[in-house]
């Protein structure tokens, strides 16, 4: 038998503790053990052409595989059994819709996706990853299709349904950001940026408290499921796929869709803020070159895929050994090295495997006898994974935690003062009197609570801006926006589109797509430099800074140095802009009293004749 360390031919553990039954984990740690599900797909066209036989059966949470090469009632060489039975948290039979035990996408979501959502709203990190050989149904389980969506879309949709319900009753405030990356040939690429941008080899860093993260990975603020759906579709288009002999649309990369979910509320006058990170992972399939017909580029891809999956197998084996040793006090503890950094995949999933996360693994398998070896390896791999014990904790904002601790200290001091117990003062770390200490703590709590409240009020204003809510006013449509912004005006008279660019606090860089550094506003034009100009926005004031050789003009007058911008001016930086900070499109926001007569008049813009300017008189 071909061996890779302690792993099987396709990079899976060839031995599994507890084969034939579930591992028992007792005590509080049972709540943190990795939850494992197995799902079998229908026989596909390729397997039908090979006249493949069905070898998988499922009963409740048990999965049984049959080796048809061993005669019924007999044993194979080395005492191998004809059937092997494994017990998991869930066994999903999705091979035949007519079967009474058929597991639909909805059932998988109700069993697994709801748990992820519950964990997120409780403040825990969560992770779901799908593993199996190529063509076994991983992407279908995680993403699904337009007719039958998978876990990732359903979890995102369910998240916003819950957010809307809680927001309706003012129970809490929420902020949601998403990112989407792929690991292709051991390199990390941002799927939510265009392929031509310099994002094909992002670096991984490790924060001492928050764990591994991808440097410069874009995070996108989303307000509803439609926003997520749009980003997801764009990312899936950018993902690397290719046809192999086993799968016409084989994923050639690992993909990780991450949701950063923050919620804040006041609970009995106490601020509460938690931050949850949800990793939804679609792994590339394990494969053998002879089965997939891989050559050249596909062969290199397959090698890198198997390398990362071998490392994942090593990590799972090491973590399972650690968990088993910890559960048995009679066994002498040994030092076990967990090789997280041996692959990009395992490094990024470090917290999800043995760390601060509630994790679910879905093993997808083929029911055909022609894939017996790969299927058995996957089942053993999943059986090993269920032994892993994670240590999930609620991710609380440190300032909120400090406020809670200070309030507990205030309550203690008040109790001591009420009792007249001055002896406790001797234990105080400072020489301050109890009254002074109490006043300091109360002032600090008030200050921290105010800072926290202001931060969330600012966040809600930003979220309001992100929606740019359109509202009707008569036969017109008004676009509300409170932040300084540019309104793009196309030179093409036949163009009917309007582009609005917000000017963030700090610097906003404007230039071409081929610039050395990524530009915040990407434009195209004959006179446009690769790095054309910078907008600086500080304390409500905006300055335009032309860069070397860049053509910039304000109301038709060319500028060569930093210039403060006012509301309603026309900029020309190869493309004309109308700048505004408190405007609706093309007109100023104003307020008037009952005794103020407001009249409107309009004129043709001298700089851009096709633009009609409004003003109040």
Share in percent of the chain as helix, strand, coil (round to 5): 30, 30, 40
Q: Give the whole-angstrom CA distance, residue 230 versus residue 235.
A: 9
Q: Which of 182, 211, 185 is nearest to 199 (CA)?
A: 182
Answer yes or no: is 136 a known binding residue: yes
Check whether 556 is labelled as a binding-site residue.
no
Give the DSSP H/E element, type plus range, for residue 228: helix 225-238
Closest by Cα among 251, 227, 231 to 239: 251
The reply to whether 134 sits in an annotated binding site is yes
Cβ distance 107 to 148 under 8 Å?
no
**Annotated binding residue 135:** yes
Q: Is 137 annotated as a binding residue?
A: yes
Tokens for 561? 């140095």
Q: Note every long-range contact of 51-58, with CB atoms under 8 Å and residues 24 or more positions apart, other chains counting.
A: 52/368, 52/369, 52/370, 52/371, 53/368, 53/369, 54/95, 54/367, 54/368, 54/369, 55/367, 55/368, 55/369, 55/372, 55/375, 56/95, 56/365, 56/367, 56/375, 58/91, 58/92, 58/93, 58/101
Residues 6+ apart with CB under 8 A from 367: 40, 41, 42, 43, 54, 55, 56, 95
Catalytic residue numbers, as ranges: 135, 137-140, 282, 285
**Local structure of 54: helix, strand or coil:** strand
Q: Which of 291, 280, 216 is nearest to 246 (CA)?
A: 291
Residue matched to tokens 């406020």: 403
User: Which candidate, 130, 147, 148, places its Cα nearest to that of 139?
Assistant: 130
Cα–Cα distances (Å) from 556 to 79, 99, 493, 551, in that order, read 89, 73, 19, 11
**Which residue carries 């319900």 as its tokens?**
165
Of 581, 574, 578, which is closest to residue 552 (Cα–Cα)? 574
Among 302, 301, 309, smallest CA distance to 288 is for 302
User: What's the rounded Cα separation, in Å, for the pair 175 and 9?
Assistant: 45
Tell me the C-alpha distance between 306 and 300, whole Å: 10
The reply to whether 265 sits in an annotated binding site is no
- Dihedral sign, Cα of residue 191, residue 195, residue 198, residue 204: positive
To the question of whether residue 132 is assigned a binding role by annotation, the answer is yes
Q: Return d(Cα 389, Cα 137) in angstroms, integer.
A: 27
Task: At 338, give phi and psi (nearest 5°).
Answer: -100, 110
d(CA 72, CA 92): 26
**Residue ranges at the known binding site for ATP:** 132-139
**Residue ranges at the known binding site:** 132-139
């Amino acid at each position: 038998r071909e061996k890779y360390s302690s792993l099987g031919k396709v990079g899976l553990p060839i031995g599994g503790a507890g084969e034939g039954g579930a591992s028992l984990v007792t005590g509080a740690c049972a709540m943190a053990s990795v939850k494992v599900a197995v799902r079998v797909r229908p026989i596909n066209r390729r397997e039908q052409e090979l006249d493949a036989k069905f070898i998988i059966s499922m009963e409740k949470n048990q999965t049984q595989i049959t080796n048809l090469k061993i005669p019924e009632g007999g044993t194979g060489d080395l005492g191998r059994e004809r059937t092997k039975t494994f017990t998991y948290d869930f066994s999903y039979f999705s091979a035949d819709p007519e079967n009474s035990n058929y597991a639909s996408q909805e059932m998988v979501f109700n069993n697994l996706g709801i748990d992820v959502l519950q964990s997120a709203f409780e403040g825990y990190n969560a992770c779901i990853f799908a593993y199996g050989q190529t063509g076994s149904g991983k992407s279908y389980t995680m993403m699904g299709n337009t007719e039958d969506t998978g876990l990732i879309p359903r979890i995102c949709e369910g998240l916003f349904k819950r957010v809307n319900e809680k927001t309706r009753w003012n129970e809490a405030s929420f902020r949601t950001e998403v990112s989407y990356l792929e690991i292709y040939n051991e390199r990390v690429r941002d799927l939510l940026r265009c392929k031509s941008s310099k994002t094909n080899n992002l670096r991984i860093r490790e924060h001492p408290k928050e764990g591994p993260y991808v440097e410069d990975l874009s995070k996108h603020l989303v307000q509803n499921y439609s926003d997520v759906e749009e980003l997801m579709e764009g990312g899936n288009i950018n993902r690397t796929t290719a046809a192999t002999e086993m799968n016409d649309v084989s994923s050639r990369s690992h993909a990780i869709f991450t949701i950063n979910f923050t919620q804040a509320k006041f609970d009995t006058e106490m601020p509460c803020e938690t931050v949850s990170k949800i990793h939804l992972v679609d792994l590339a399939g394990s494969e053998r070159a002879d089965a997939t017909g891989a050559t050249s580029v596909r062969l290199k891809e397959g090698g890198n895929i198997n390398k990362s999956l071998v490392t994942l197998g090593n990590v799972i084996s090491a973590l399972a050994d650690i968990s088993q040793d910890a559960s048995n006090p009679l066994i002498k503890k040994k030092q076990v090295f967990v090789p997280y950094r041996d692959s990009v995949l395992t490094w990024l999933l470090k917290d999800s495997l043995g760390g601060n996360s509630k994790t679910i693994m879905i093993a997808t398998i083929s029911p055909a006898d022609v894939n017996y070896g790969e299927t058995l390896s996957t089942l053993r791999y999943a059986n090993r994974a269920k032994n892993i014990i994670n240590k999930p904790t609620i991710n609380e904002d440190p300032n909120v935690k400090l406020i809670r601790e200070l309030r507990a200290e205030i309550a203690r001091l008040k109790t001591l003062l009420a009792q007249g117990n001055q002896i406790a003062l001797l234990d105080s770390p400072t020489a301050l009197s109890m009254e002074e200490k109490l006043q300091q703590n109360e002032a600090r709590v008030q200050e921290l609570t105010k800072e926290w409240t202001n931060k969330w009020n600012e966040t809600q204003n930003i979220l309001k801006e992100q929606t740019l809510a359109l509202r009707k006013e008569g036969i017109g449509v008004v676009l509300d926006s409170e932040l300084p912004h540019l309104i793009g005006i196309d030179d093409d008279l036949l163009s009917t589109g309007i582009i609005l660019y917000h000017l963030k606090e700090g610097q906003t860089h404007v230039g071409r797509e081929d610039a050395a550094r990524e530009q915040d506003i990407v434009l195209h034009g004959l006179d446009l430099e690769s790095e054309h100009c910078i907008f600086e926005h500080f304390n409500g004031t905006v300055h335009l800074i032309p860069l070397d050789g860049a053509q910039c003009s304000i109301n038709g007058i060319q500028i060569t140095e930093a210039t403060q911008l006012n509301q309603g001016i026309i900029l020309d930086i190869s493309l004309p802009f109308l700048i505004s900070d408190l405007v609706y499109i093309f007109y100023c926001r104003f307020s008037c009293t009952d005794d103020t007569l407001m009249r409107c008049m309009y004129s043709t813009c001298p700089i851009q004749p096709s633009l009609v300017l409004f003003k109040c008189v």
